[in-house]
Amino acid sequence: MKKIQVNDCEEVLLSMGQIIENLNEVIDKLDKEAIKAMLQKTMDGDKVFVMGAGRSGLVARAFAMRLMHLGFSVYVVGETTTPAVRPQDVVIAISGSGQTRSIADLGKIVKDIGSTLITVTSKKDSTLGRISDIVVILPSKTKNDSEEGGYLERHLRGDYTHMPPLGTSFEIASLVFLDSIIAQLITLTGASEAELKSRHTNIE
């Protein structure tokens, strides 16, 4: 069995530093108009639905949980008691590639229903990027970024070191971005920390 060295722990810290560096790059490239539109539509919608596959789906749920704490009528697509989507609702899709098949298919249905579709993605030129009303681009590397070599290939070439694999940097960037959207929605709605806590599940 492999014996872990102190050096291995150093590299964990270096990876964390690399993730932070990537986050800083994302902030520099964010489109303020898209953020403004996303805040407006999220506040104006009747119900809010979130969706995503895999780890992006987990980020979508983390966002939905906070929206619930804030008092929004919010649902995760695919959960047990999620009702039908109506034209006056807002659907927020999280997809690094913007092409995840099941989510892109659902995005088309959302547009057929006539609801507002917001996509958080790293690829504007993608299925979801093209059909959405609002697209927030987080310019992270995604798991299909093969044209420039995956992170590990670049890792081996020495270009980038200590980078987590596949869509990791998008997933982290989207969580940080969406939690900052929450922070601003708190300011906008005037919700107090006590109100948020009062809605937090009391049977877990």
**Where in 90-109 is the site for its own copies (CB under 8 A)?**
91, 100-102, 105-106, 109
Q: Measured between alpha carbons, how far is 55 from 83 in angstroms, rounded to an integer?
A: 23
Q: Are 90 and 51 in contact (CB under 8 A)?
A: no
Spatial contact of 89 and 138, defined as CB atoms under 8 Å apart:
no
Exactly one of 25, 99, 113, 133 binds its own copies (CB under 8 A); which one? Answer: 113
Interface mask (CB under 8 A) for its own copies, residues 50-79, using x and -?
Answer: -x-xxx--xx-xx-xxxxxx----xxxxxx
With CB under 8 A as the contact rule, the residue among 35, 99, 131, 133 that binds its own copies is 35
SS3 48: strand
Q: Which is nearer to its own copies, 129 or 178 (CB)?
A: 178
Our answer to whether residue 171 is catalytic in this structure is yes
Catalytic-role residue among 10, 33, 153, 171: 171
Alpha-carbon distance of 22 to 20, in angstroms, equals: 5
Closer by beta carbon to its own copies, 126 or else 168: 168
Quick note: the x/- pattern for its own copies over 131-170, rule CB under 8 A, is ------------x------xxxx--------xxxxx-x--
Does residue 181 belong to the site contacting its own copies (CB under 8 A)? yes
DSSP 21: H
Distance CA 15, CA 12 (A): 5
Among 149, 128, 152, 123, smallest CA distance to 138 is for 123
Q: What tokens were used for 183? A: 């922070």
Nearer to its own copies, 130 or 156 (CB): 156
We find the least distance from the C-beta atom of residue 137 to its own copies, in angstroms, to be 14
Q: CB of 9: closest distance to its own copies in angstroms? A: 4
Shortest spacing between CB 26 and its own copies, in angstroms: 8
Helices 54-69 and 168-189, axial angle in degrees (round to 10):
10
As annotated, the active-site residues are 171
